[in-house]
A and B are shown apart, each in its own frame.
Chain A
């Protein structure tokens, strides 16, 4: 357990010490938030769908989390290249402890990043219906973080170098983000698109976040929670398995 703790703390230290990374990864969500949030707001309102900024903010928070989390997971590749991975692999601790420490640390980092996006949203006028539900929102932020750090860890255990990183971003993370309910509501979509949304875990994560902020869930809080928890467990297991097979 001590190994889990110290590896977690290590990730946090690395994150806090790199303000460039924190601000840098805020850039993309903020651009999305401002361009879409204010750009599409009037059309959305005319269509009678309400305040688009409030609608899209949870999606943008999820976006900030997803990108940071996948990157945190994939950092295994850096550690392999810079050699630190070896130091942990010959230590008298199990690979499971190492992978849990890494995933937990990465998930906390991603959640902090999501919280930073949340603050930015508030600063630009994001309105929360019920502040008492903030803990629920934090739980969903953590679950999205956990899910995507596990995905990043699984991928990072298999990829040999950072060359594959754009591939992961463009063919996995981007589609998962765009084909979710982050940017548009699920109601009234073409059947195929709606099907894709329903199969996408991000949809449930964003729905959970949006529900907590605006007290209106498209699914139910239980469904959102169950989908995320089960998928996180499955992907964490896959990630642990792939990590345990890393050969130096």
Chain B
């Protein structure tokens, strides 16, 4: 089995601040991989670099065998992503959102329609396909985003806190779909979450990142054993400590601060 995601010695600096500090890991094809860490640990920054939105300071990345910096298009075709916050067009219907996505990814019309139907049926939204997304609940939006992310048949699915703010029923359903997909279509899943019991249940392997460094990487069972903790949450706290993290300014904020500083110095 080949590795779908390879990260070697990845670094991302914002000025003096090191968001991601020499991390390395690999995710084999078809696996569900959990990327865990407290707020501001570098999870989203890593996802942004893997998904071509952000360029790394140094290090090697491979997504489906392609380099996210130099082979953007190939990489972008290889993955589907569900972002931390919604990214749907509220003024369009579910069907239109799906269709727009398919067109942007160059999925032929016939395939687009068939794929849309089977995916919307899978996430239980086919009956509501002609409703405007603004009439959807948070859970329905999430399900639609997952369906949309899969429309172009990606080999990899990135999920950045896909179940945040959802009730246990919806969370349960969502992980159900993801599990099914990964098994049936051999899709590799890379996700972040703060819900440790979810990671414990679905992830074949997890990596724990803290202060930009990977502090542990193994199966959930092995991590529990290693820290002699009864649950993954206890293992997580044993690995990352009890201190509450103040959410760092996010990447965009930091960049904005830097840009202003540069402008102030008259250099740009």
Contacts and interface: CB of A to CB of B under 8 A. Distances in A.
Contacts of B169: none
B173 interface: no
Interface on chain A toward B: helix, strand, loop, or mixed SS? helix
Contact of A10 (B54, B92, B251): B92
A90 B52 contact: yes
A86 B83 contact: yes
Interface stretch (B34-42, B98-106, B187-195): B98-106
A21 to B, nearest CB: 11
B89 A248 contact: no
A90 B72 CA distance: 9
A90 B53 contact: yes
Interface residues of B, number: 30
B16 interface: no
Contact of A83 (B52, B72, B77, B87): B87
Given A6-B100, A90-B52, A90-B53, A17 B91 contact: yes
B183 interface: no
A14 B91 contact: yes
Given A6-B103, A248-B252, A84 B88 contact: yes
A13 B252 contact: no
A18 B92 CA distance: 12
Contacts, number: 70
Nearest to B93: A13
Interface in A1-37: 2-3, 5-6, 10, 13-14, 17-18
Interface in A66-99: 82-93
A130 interface: no
B85 interface: yes
B256 to A, nearest CB: 7
Contacts of B103: 2-3, 5-6
A247 B83 contact: no
Interface string B193-220: 0000000000000000000000000000
A91 B91 contact: no
Q: What class of interface size applies to chain A in its complex with B? A: 20 to 34
Interface in B67-122: 72-73, 76-77, 81, 83, 85-92, 96, 100-101, 103-106
Contacts of B90: 82
Contacts of B252: 247-248
Interface of A: 2-3, 5-6, 10, 13-14, 17-18, 82-93, 160, 247-248
Interface of B: 48, 51-54, 72-73, 76-77, 81, 83, 85-92, 96, 100-101, 103-106, 251-252, 255-256
Given A83-B83, A87-B88, 5 more contacts: A82-B89, A83-B86, A86-B87, A248-B54, A248-B251
13 contacts: A2-B104, A3-B103, A6-B103, A14-B89, A82-B90, A84-B89, A90-B51, A90-B76, A91-B105, A92-B73, A92-B76, A247-B255, A248-B252
